Chain A
Amino acid sequence: MSTLKRWWSERVPISGDELRAMTNEPVPHHIKHWWFCLGGTPAYLFVVQIITGILLAIYYQPTPQGAYESVRYITEEARFGWYLRSVHKWAATFMVAAVILHQMRVFFTGAYRKPRELNWIIGMFLLICTLVVGFTGYSLVFEQLSYWGATVGGNITESVPLIGPWLKRLLLGGDAYNEHTLSRFFILHAAVLPVVMVLLLVIHISLIRLHGISDLRFKDDKAGKKFNFFPDHAMTELGIGLVLMIVLSALATIFPASLGAPADPLTTPEVIKPEWFFYVTFRWLKLFPGTAAVLSMGLIVFVMFLWPFIDGWIRKRKPASEFSVFVGILAVLAIIGLTIWEALVAH
């Protein structure tokens, strides 16, 4: 045993104590509250998505001729295909929800403020990547919603001033949805965006480690009280992972992923809705004409990116300002309101 240990330590020259010292970050006591683990939740779900995604890609065919049939095969014929596809779909839903909740938590606790502005921007890129992965994901099924969602998405891209038409052609591989569009969406969904997200996550987590977790004190917390990341916090995250896996499996069994009518480029369904996380955008597009809707959405996203600096500028002039809290409440109410509105009406 000691020979094996010596052989290993000669080739990997780091001791267990040194490794522990490198990885074991003291974590502020407020992290005991579960909603502060919402950052780890999407990271855990991302791993679930990668594993289930690789398994689904074994049978999936990214062509207009084969896509729908391959998804039907996965759902109806491949052993436990229905389970893997349903877990993939539910984990995507949970991942979007967890990223949004994590961002809300960071916003309302002011954890984006100096010196963590850049990490907020990385987080914004991760939010956008998550939404685009979700969008390209349901485009791959090649049911009616997939086709028309991709068509609408391509045309939204075209509405971007100056580079819009160029960007649309690059995204769709032509002037409109064509033979090459689905494979582009597949590569974006299964290769490009996951790699970008892994790189962003590495930077995101590295910056958290370098800055340390922002300290926040609740009434029942003692000043400066900390606990170890390992094993204490790691066990909490594992516990959340276990609960998530049980919930995902239960939902996949009770509400398995269904398959709508196959894509028909000649008929837009009478009632068409995107996934719930695009209800806000969908309603917004109904409220305003094309370019105005796209530009206003772009402006909102731009302000979100720069919010730490805008907030910093305001707080420099009025240190006790609660402006960001009011903006946050207004944004949350708008998101909830538009989502419910779109969910309740047919058109």
Chain B
Amino acid sequence: MPGAPPPFIAIERVSKAFQADPRTPPIAVIDDISIAIDKGELVVFLGPSGCGKTTLMRIVGGLETATRGRVLIDGEAVSGPSRQKGMVFQSYSSFPWLNVIDNIRFGLKFRDDIDGAEKERLARHYLDLVGLKGFEGYYVNRISGGMRQRVAIARTLAAGPDVLLMDEPFGALDAQNRDFLQEQLDVIQRSEHKTIIFVTHDVEEAVFLADRIFIFSARPARILEEVRVCDVLPAERTLEHKDSEVFFKLRNRILGITRAQALRTEQIMMGATASS
């Protein structure tokens, strides 16, 4: 498109197929997906488990390669993992042999753009930002799952990435912790101005966090629908928004789409079992 500024992240006609065994045909996981993401946006990939949304995010992160198509970040093709693209995983997200502050310092360890004093300042800054002041010396096995995910977020932010890739980071947490962290992520997002891709199968989480939601189909993944949450909900959100009528309506509409998809996935799985 001439005239329009290029998007910050451009996923261009990406397809991915896995071949577990050379004797069997490759399994298509992602089918020709194109997405454009602007700087500072929080985009959610929503879809059933095993649909390929995580794979697409990992391709953006350079942790996996696309079979066809490419991903551009700031005009440059992604060729591998780098400090530019930070990852937060659901489990094994922080290092058990390091305490909270050393886990956060780890994110700064390989930065050569700042000096030691600045690194220490940043480590404290991110410790504060995620509300873990006072827990510096705790080993991560001694703190709750929610705190562990906050450590992971602080460490990833400390590395100074342009893009934050979050793979169901709150999936293993209880409801209270999840609500709390969702709200915190919204605050962090606005103060840090990061571009975030957030993968989840939780519709409510998706609606609460997202500027835009991409609903993925069952495997092979295609985009069923793009939902512009930012058009109906304000950028700044609190838990009260979860009780609003707009929120309910949007959530229910998306649930309708995902339910139909889940049923289809199940049928595919059953078909696969029956034929094998």
| Chains A and B form a bound pair | no
Binding site for A on B (CB under 8 A): none
Binding site for B on A (CB under 8 A): none
